[in-house]
Structure 1
């Protein structure tokens, strides 16, 4: 079945009527359960009281009969439907002609009663057009008595209502200022000196005592709370920070330049001192003397290495001899004396 036809069916569980009926039945059932629980609690409380008093507990009453789930309206509609669609039967002793005549009379009586019911309803002779010239198919009944209203009372009630609503309502008319006239200038159009003059500040405290420093405190508080003064202070601080930064950059640049100049001077000075040291002991025959000195040093080193190798060999031989002959006190002293002499030879 198409979904757009499902809502038209009376048995659809999602119809508003069926949903309301289910909720109504659930509410009625819950009410019956609560009432039954209340009665049971009352009976139980009464029975306990009788037991505490020493009396014989009475027999509990029978549970109440649950009413039919079908309401009176539903029963009436069901009876009307059954009577309307009930099959007519022939009475005992009448033929088909008498039955048809009886049916016709009953139908005529029902139609007459329906016609009289419709005719008994009051017909409205109200015009189709109202006083403004608009079409009004369902005109309202005119009031029986036109009551005159007191304009002063209405004005007072409107003022009271507005004063009450002003406590929690923000209107666009109060954008310039709360309860200010149209010609009055807003608070932000005047400067701080005009808005709060020094002479307008009272020189007394809240208890009425003289307070000569109150004006200075109020002036300082106004200056501290002034956003323009805060912005100016921030601009001054920013400018001072920028000046300090530029000053620091300039000092750093000068120091770097001075360091570079000093570095160049020291490099030039080292270069000149090295060149003067080289030319100071310069001789034409310095190369020949240098060659002789190098040959002498080479020959002396070769002799020294040969003596060292010979001393090591002698020492190893003496140590082996001492090990084979045995150890005693004289041989120990002799061994140490030889070792000392060998070390002196090696050192030389």
Structure 2
């Protein structure tokens, strides 16, 4: 299609008339949204005022009807739009941009005027001033006749609601099983040794048959789940372990002392039975020759042993010195 014919088509999106129409539709849609928001705020404010006055909130009014999509309405709106487009022409010395801006301003002004006109309409006919001439924003409504209720029905419904709440609610009036133990002493008023098996423990099984050992099992289960009993058991075990450890330490200490005493006695007897070779105890000059000979032999043997040990040390020293020189 030639470009000079594109501007003549009504479906051209860049046609000034189409641009102005889009802007006008956007302004009208924005005005409708603002009007709907204002209407909802008025309805909400009216509802709050009724709640503050103690009145029953009224049913909110239905929203305004949407524009019909019938063929007649479409034809009418199209004809009005066409007439409006024919009337809205450029003024003298005005270009397309100035004309579009002027038309948009006119549409916005019309929408604001309609909004102000609807805001002036009051939703309540209550007088703003009272009988004395003062401003009263919340005038007192007409006194309503109190609705009479059936006392028995209200009492039954309240009792039923209370029983329903008692199934999952813990009240202070029933703390520590107050209702279940009205004629019984509290659990902390007697010691554990004086406590007798409670008669309230079940003595029947789940099928309703008599079970004589049911109470014993229940009592054993309660004792097993009692934290105080577990703490006492732990303390007893700790004390028994401590006693065992002390007894074992005492036995070990006593065994060590016995071993030391036995060792001392053994060393004492050994010294008494085998005297030292260097000791002069029992030596006499007028002793027989054999005893002197024995003493001389022992002395010479000790002398030879010392000489041999000194010779070995000197030999070891010379050999070590020779190895060091070779390494150097």
Same fold (TM over 0.5): no
RCO higher in structure (CA 8 A, sep ≥6): 2
What TM-score bracket applies, with the shorter chain setting the length? Answer: 0.3 to 0.5
Larger CA Rg, structure 1 vs 2: 1
Q: Which has the higher helix share?
A: 1
